[in-house]
Chain A
Amino acid sequence: MQWGSLTEFFAMGGYGLYVWTSFGATALCLVGEVLAVWRRHVAALAGARAVS
């Protein structure tokens, strides 16, 4: 492990902005997609019930 402190970890050797934007955007997209699919499923089930 090469991090002396938490600040050092978040600074990422001066590349913090690029590194954390990359990982943050990826996390947002994955979580967002899971939520979107979940909501779509709920809506689809409601739609199917409405048809009956």
Chain B
Amino acid sequence: MSVMGINWFKYSSPQAFYPLAGRLIPWFAAAALGLIGIGLYIGFFVAPTDFQQGEAYRIIFVHVPAAWMSMFLYVLMALWAGLGLGLNARPSFMMTQAIAPTGAMFTFLALLTGAMWGKPTWGAWWVWDARLTSELILLFQYIGLILLRASIDDQRRADRASAVFALVGVVNVPIIYFSVRWWNTLHQGASVSMTASPKMATTMVTAMLVMMLGFWMYSIAVTLARMRCVIVERERQPSWGKHAPAPDVAEVRECSGGV
């Protein structure tokens, strides 16, 4: 397929993706740094004090973006897993592998910052609330996925097993998202939604959205970087050094088939 004279399929091969990702990472990293910097500035110096929660509410600027990323990344990971199973495409499985640790980290952060927010506002670090419990299960899913892959030596079997695991587990994401509506437990409802105007001051929403964009850029940068690690680990090519030219795809396929 050739749109605008560019062969887009070229970049779906690990050999072409590797240098492309290397060129993209600095841009996404810079965007992440800039956005998180601006988000922190608005969050701490522009957004006013909350009339009910005082300064404790400022945890929202890391809590909500981390929680959103934990769910976004899971869906994205499951999409790559489905694509991998459907097309039997190794790079898609590699994306699944590259996203999982970042998703697990954001899930952990969502739970930790949630505990830090829960203690002063609810009086408890943890309650078995629907939202908290389903988010904890998401953390176990990420960890299970990583351990499942690590426990299978044959890469193709590991790819398929973890892809199926990721796809089955995606059912938990809508449960997390709608948990605050389906069960009336402790966790508050959505602060920002597509259908209603935000329940917060504009500067608060702005800070939160800018932080979320920053976390997105960070996730893209770090996932691309991990993708490069995965490519080198799985292809085991001696020519991956910085200045060596990318080898031909056919040649690499032959080599990796024998390893």
Check B225–A45 contact: CB distance below 8 A.
no
Q: Does B91 contact A (CB under 8 A)?
A: no
Q: Report which of A14, A22, A41 forms a contact with B225, defined as CB distance below 8 A.
A: A41
| A12-B55 contact in complex given A26-B109, A38-B225, A41-B232, C-beta closer than 8 Å | yes
Asked whether, in the complex, the Cβ of B232 is within 8 Å of the Cβ of A25, the reply is no
Contact at B232–A44, with CB atoms within 8 Å?
yes
- Interface contact B232-A45, CB-CB below 8 Å: yes
On whether the beta carbons of A21 and B232 are closer than 8 Å, the reply is no
Structural contact, B113 and A26, CB atoms closer than 8 A: yes
Contact at A51–B222, with CB atoms within 8 Å?
no
Q: How many residues of A contact B (CB 8 A)?
A: 30
Instruction: In the complex, identify which listed stretch (B80-88, B114-122, B166-174, B175-183) lies at the interface while the others stay far away.
Output: B114-122
The 6 closest A-B pairs by CB, nearest first: A52-B238, A13-B55, A44-B232, A15-B56, A12-B55, A22-B113
Q: List 13 A-B contacts (CB under 8 A).
A: A12-B55, A13-B54, A18-B119, A22-B59, A22-B116, A23-B62, A25-B113, A29-B109, A33-B222, A37-B229, A44-B233, A48-B237, A52-B238
| Residues of B that sit less than 8 Å from A by CB | 44-46, 48-49, 54-56, 58-59, 62-63, 66, 101-102, 105, 108-109, 112-113, 116-117, 119-120, 218, 222, 225-226, 228-229, 232-233, 235-238, 240-241
